[in-house]
Chain A
Amino acid sequence: MVVAPRMDPEIDTNIDRDDGLAAVRHIAESVPDPELVVVTVGDLGIIRDLRRDGASVEIDVTPTYSACPATLAIELAIETAVAAAGYEARVRRVLAPAWTTDWITPAGRAKLKDAGIAPPLRRAGSEVDDDAYFARPQVACPRCDSLDTTELSAFGATACKAQYRCLSCREPFDYFKCL
């Protein structure tokens, strides 16, 4: 399995301290997702804003799913990474606007595909009604790009994924559900 290189938060510690906010953003966005380590929280688009709050920086982070068990782990990982670089930072959990998979960056989508996870289809502008009974989005196989795929399970190993199988190359794969 091809796994995209993982950004290491340690490498960002030499960034010019004069540009604190940008540096903190870079460090925070480089933290890998604890359950999907091939992507960073920056790739997922869950860091919504940063601002100075006296001597420290406040980082707005939005959860993916309301009960995603990784939410707290992600928040702690961000605070730890930023603190390790010598900055004082506090994560603020923001719920609105609700996270959508449309916020996953192009780089994040490419990393998911390289790891064998079909990236979510675009919700915005989609004509497909995902909520209709027995209608399923046409998901491309992340390995052979065939569109001849079928859903195996509406739920998968994490709240954000469903399980599919490619009928061309016969490989099963995870699909990052469109939210």
Chain B
Amino acid sequence: MAGRDDLLALLLRIGDDHLILGHRLSEWCGHAPMLEEDLALPNMALDLIGTARMCYGYAAEIEGDGRSEDDYAFLRDGTDFRHILMVERPNGDFAFTILRQFLFAAYMHPVWDGLTGSTDARLADHAGKAVKEMAYHVRHSGEWVIRLGDGTEESARRMMAALDELAPYIGEMFESDETAQRLVTAGLLADPDAVRATFDGTVSRTFAMAKLPSLDVTAGISGGRTGRHGEVLGHLLAEMQFMQRAYPGQTW
């Protein structure tokens, strides 16, 4: 049986994935290659941070130790975060950012779709909204993967380089452990095989249109789910958490 600790673990995994990727996307604000993307990237970041807020708010209620959603975001250290390593990678160029966004959305869309039927009502309710948002992210980022992959020599080169760099991080999305298995058995989390099948379908359909080679997911770099992160997370948190660390309890 999945217990309280399993549900908390799930909320932190989903919440941290969304918060950290949302923060990375927000770094593009004011720097995107074109105005439309300067609107798109922070808008997608907003969706992701909205989901993180739901997860942290729910986790805070379960823990009931007086912490708020902000404490989870701003007062945890790097080793307490449970996101997959892909989302903390530095943004690189636009090709890297958009391919990472596509891979994440292609993975989360079936996860949320499955969560609409979760035995946990709070997660199921939120999933009804998140699944629609993820479908929009898949479409937006997938179209860019196709434009760049099947674009100019330069854009195709950059998309290939992004794929080479991201490939080792894809396997971690589909790793399972005892916590995940208990959550699946209890009906809180979707069947990972079904998620994987949908992900594979979305990726192969998109990569074919983008003239990218088919994806070969093998075991790669992992450790994020147990709090083993890259040095880059420290730099990210230093910026994201600065205000609350420097001025504890500061509000506006």
Contacts and interface: CB of A to CB of B under 8 A. Distances in A.
B139 A66 contact: no
Interface in B118-140: 121-122, 124-126, 128-130, 132-133, 135-136, 138-140
B40 A66 contact: no
A65 B129 contact: yes
Contacts of B132: 98, 179
Contacts of B48: 67
Interface in A70-127: 94-99
Contact of A159 (B36, B47, B130, B142): B47
A95 B49 contact: no
B46 A67 contact: yes
Contact of A96 (B39, B43, B128): B128
Contacts of B53: 67
Interface in B42-80: 43-44, 46-51, 53-54
Contacts of A95: 122, 125-126, 128-129
Nearest to B40: A155
Given A65-B133, A96-B124, A98-B132, A133 B40 contact: no
A152 B115 CA distance: 33
A156 interface: yes
Interface residues of B, number: 34
Interface residues of A, number: 27
A68 B53 CA distance: 12
Nearest to B44: A155
A154 B129 contact: no
Given A66-B47, A152-B36, A133 B146 contact: yes
Contact of A155 (B39, B135, B209): B39
Contacts of A156: 39
A63 B130 CA distance: 12
Interface in A136-179: 152-157, 159, 163, 177, 179
A153 B39 contact: yes
Contacts of B36: 152-155, 163
Contacts of A98: 125, 128-129, 132
Contacts of B44: 155
21 contacts: A63-B129, A65-B47, A65-B133, A66-B50, A66-B130, A66-B133, A67-B46, A68-B50, A95-B129, A96-B121, A96-B124, A98-B128, A98-B129, A99-B129, A131-B139, A132-B139, A133-B143, A133-B206, A155-B44, A155-B140, A156-B39
Q: Which 9 A-B pairs have the closest CB atoms?
A: A67-B50, A98-B128, A95-B125, A96-B125, A66-B50, A153-B36, A155-B43, A155-B39, A155-B40
Interface of A: 63, 65-69, 94-99, 130-134, 152-157, 159, 163, 177, 179
